[in-house]
Amino acid sequence: MHPSASRPSLLLSVLALLGSMAALCIGSSFAKHLFPLIGAAGTTAWRLTGSALLLALLWRPWRDWPARAELGRVLQYGAALGAMNLSFYLALRSLPLGVCVAIELTGPLAVALLSARRAGHFVWVLLAALGIVLLLNPFAHGAWLDPVGVGFAVLAAVFWALYILAGKRVSHLHAGLSVSLGMLTAAALVVPFGAWSAGPQWFSPSVALWGLGVALLSSALPYSLEMIALRGLTTRAFGTLVSLEPAIGALAGFVILGERLTGLQWLAIAAVMAACAGTVGTAARD
């Protein structure tokens, strides 16, 4: 088994998480171009398949298999990872990237609030709730957000919270080992359904090439960087920094996909971001 990895510096951990979020949002924007060809589930399957192959070739986890107790934790981490990816892409079919990420962000926010000790912490809950209400407000942008898409985004939030908790349980392992085995688990769970739903087009060489590129940007790189960040940051600090992701996602959606958000939607995203940052900031002073 790999020896326990040394704890990275705070600066390295912060830079790793910022790089992870940027790569994830850019990759997700490109991935949306695959939806008309192979659907959201098929795209998720290629994202996870490509990431699992790339990470397995890079880290060769079979050389130092973890102990049985640790393997069980890695499998839980991988299951949460696969479910989170699939739910997020199913939500992304009908929601703008920035909106989808903002709703999903409530998962890490909930994790941070688990350690709340004072009534003042719940001010941030109200702020986050306000942000979500503004996002769902049909009078602000002419129509309701797609309820199925919102439901999948909420489900992605739940699995993101579980992913963070499971990731902390395996963060003492070498990042390459835990992420590569976790990604193999995620792919094993999602690929049968994704490939079946996409049909023969899923095996097209052009789709495969595009899928590998999406995998590199959306999974292999960001999740490896996240494992570095999880070793050097507390759960609270991780949740604070992740609050930047909706803004990064909205910017990537605008530049790459041409997705324009209303002023009220930007305000709603800012409210969710502030709630997440405020939760961790006040908790850290307790």
Q: Is residue 184 part of a domain?
A: yes
Query: What pLDDT is recorded for position 3?
Result: 45
pLDDT digits (tens, 9 = 90+) for 246-271: 888 999 999 999 998 888 888 888 88
Query: What pLDDT is recorded for position 58?
Result: 82
Q: Is residue 1 part of a domain?
A: no
pTM of the model: 0.83
Contact partners, residue 82, CB within 8 Å, separation at least 6 = 48, 185, 186, 187, 189, 190
Q: Is residue 50 part of a domain?
A: yes
pLDDT higher than 90, residue 89? yes
User: Which pLDDT band, with edges at 50, 70 and 90, does 209 fall under?
Assistant: very high
Give the distance from CA 35 to its chain's centroid: 18
User: Which pLDDT band, with edges at 50, 70 and 90, does 2 fall under?
Assistant: very low
Q: Is residue 3 part of a domain?
A: no
Q: Is residue 251 part of a domain?
A: yes
Q: Which position has the higher pLDDT, 121 or 11?
A: 11
Q: Is residue 5 part of a domain?
A: no
User: Which pLDDT band, with edges at 50, 70 and 90, does 280 fall under?
Assistant: low
Mean pLDDT value across the chain:
84
Q: Is residue 4 part of a domain?
A: no
Q: Burial level of 56, CB count in 10 A (0-12/13-18/19+)?
A: middle
What is the domain range of residue 116?
A: 10-284
Question: In this structure, what token pair is assigned to residue 219?
Answer: 């999974």
Q: Is residue 2 part of a domain?
A: no
Query: Which of the residue ranges 24-33, 59-68, 149-158 has the most confident prediction, judged by mean pLDDT?
Result: 149-158
User: Which pLDDT band, with edges at 50, 70 and 90, does 85 fall under?
Assistant: very high
Q: What percent of the chain has pLDDT over 90?
A: 37
What is the number of domains present in the chain? 1
User: Which pLDDT band, with edges at 50, 70 and 90, does 88 fall under?
Assistant: very high
Mean pLDDT of 183-200: 94
